[in-house]
Chains A and B, each alone.
Chain A
Amino acid sequence: MNQSLKLKELTAFIADYASVLLGSGVHCTRVVRNSRRICEAYDMEVSMMILASSIILTLVDPQTEEICTEVVPIHQLPVSFELNSELSALSWKVHDRHESVADLRREFKALCDKPRMNSWLVTLLVSVANACFCRLFDGDWKGMLVVFFSTFVGFRLLRWLKKKGVDHFLAVILVSFVSSFLASFMLCFSQVDATIAVATSVLFMIPGVPMITGVIDIIENHILIGFARLMRALLIVLCLAVGLSISMVIFQGSLL
C-alpha cells in the first residue's frame, strides 16, 4: 500500500478509536497508550492533545517524514467497560500480529456494534443494587423494598427520556423527582424513618464512574479533562438534589 495513503488511513482510524474510548469513559493515559501501541505496530509515531470535547492528534511517518493531523470530537457515549477491555485487547492483537488497517477497522466496528446488556436485566440489577445500597446506609427491609420499586420506575423513566433525546441534566432532575416522590409517597403513611430510603432512592444516578476516572486523570497529569469530568459529575449531583428537594417540598411543606 502507498505509504501516504496508509498514514491517512491510520490517522482516521486512531481518531475514531480514541474518540470512542474517551467517549465511553476510559481514562486518558490508557487511550494514549493504546493508540501509541497500534501506531508502533505500523512503524508510525503519534502525538495527542486531549481536550474535554475534542482530540487533536498528529501521526508522523519517520520513513518519509510525512505528517497527518486530525481533529475529532468526543461524543458522549454510555460508559462501557466491555468496550474498554476489548479495544485494549485489540491494540495488543495488532501489536503482536500486525494486521492490515482494513482488518483492524473491521474488528473495531464489530466491537463497537456489539449489543449491550439487556435493558430490563440492567434495570433489575440496578434496582437490587440500590436496595442493597439502602441497607449499607442502615435502612430496614421496608426501606429496601421501597427503594427497589422507586429505582425500578426511575431507571425505566431515565432510559425512556434518553431514548427521546431529552437533555441528560433535565432527565436527572425529572427522574430524581419521580423516584423520591414515589419513595416519599410509599413511606408517608408508615411510622418508620423515611429519610434514608428517600435519599437512597436517587443515589443510583450518582456519577461514580466519572468521579473516579476524573481523579485518575488528574493524578496522571491530564488535569483539564479530569476537571471537566469532575465538573460534569458535580452538575449531576446538583440536579439530583434539585429533583429531590422538589418532592420534599411537596411532601413536607419545607425542606426541613
Chain B
Amino acid sequence: MIEETLIRAVCAAFAALGFGAVSNPSRKSLPGIMILAAVGYAVRYVLMQLAGWDIATSTLAAALLMGFGSLWLGSVVHCPMTTLYIPALLPMVPGMYAYKAVFSIILFMQNLGTQAEAFLYLNNFFLNVIITVTVILCMTVGASLPMFILSRRATSLTRYRNRKKDRTDIGA
C-alpha cells in the first residue's frame, strides 16, 4: 500500500509537470507544482483506499489541502495560487470519465435497435457525466476555497515589496 501510494504520487508529480508544461509555467513554480500534485494525489488515493471515501469527497479534501499548500508556496515563489494549483490538479481531472461519457453517447447511437444495450450505454453516460461534473466541481471548489477565506493574502502573492522598508514605514 505504501509502495503503491508512493509510485502514484511520483507519477502524479510527473503528470502535473508534463501537462503543466503545455501551459508554459514559470520555472520557479515547477517544484511547487510537483510537490502539490504528489501530495494531493497521494492524499486522495489514501482516503479512497484506506478510509473508503468516495472519489468526490476525497478529491474535495485533497484539493482543499492543495489550495492551502498553493497559498503558502505562492508566497514563497511569488506566483498566483492558480498558476500552482491548476497544473497540480490536472492529474486528478477525470479525463477518463469524460471520455467514457462521450464514448457512451456514440455507443448508444450505434445500439438504438437493441433496447437493453441502448439503456446500458445511456446508464453509463449518466454515471460518467455525474462523476466527471462532481469531481471537477469538488476539486475546483476545494482548491479555490482558501482564496475566498484568505482573499487579502491570496491576491497579493505576486507583490514584490521591500518588506524591511514597509516595516520601517509602519513603525514611523
Task: Please report A residues at the B interface, Cβ cutoff 8 Å.
Answer: 25-27, 30, 33, 78-86, 88-89, 91-93, 96, 116-117, 121-122, 125-130, 132-133, 135-137, 199-200, 202-204, 206, 208-209, 211-213, 215-216, 219, 237-238, 240-242, 244-245, 254-256
Contacts and interface: CB of A to CB of B under 8 A. Distances in A.
A122 B80 contact: no
Given A96-B159, A136-B8, A208-B93, A80 B80 contact: no
Interface in B21-73: 21-26, 29, 41
Contacts of A213: 82, 86
B146 to A, nearest CB: 13
Nearest to B139: A212
Contacts of B160: 89, 92-93
Interface of B: 7-8, 10-12, 14-26, 29, 41, 78-80, 82-83, 86-87, 89-91, 93, 95-96, 98-99, 102-103, 105-107, 110, 136-137, 139-141, 144, 155-156, 158-161
Given A128-B18, A203-B96, A237-B102, 14 more contacts: A80-B24, A81-B20, A81-B24, A89-B160, A117-B24, A125-B18, A135-B8, A136-B8, A208-B19, A212-B136, A215-B136, A219-B144, A245-B106, A255-B110
A255 B106 contact: yes
- Main secondary structure on B side of the interface with A: helix
10 contacts: A81-B24, A82-B26, A82-B83, A84-B83, A85-B80, A88-B80, A89-B160, A136-B11, A136-B12, A255-B103
B23 A237 contact: no
A86 B155 CA distance: 14
B140 A126 contact: no
B138 to A, nearest CB: 10
A238 B102 contact: yes
- Main secondary structure on A side of the interface with B: helix
Contacts of A209: 23, 86, 90
B144 to A, nearest CB: 6
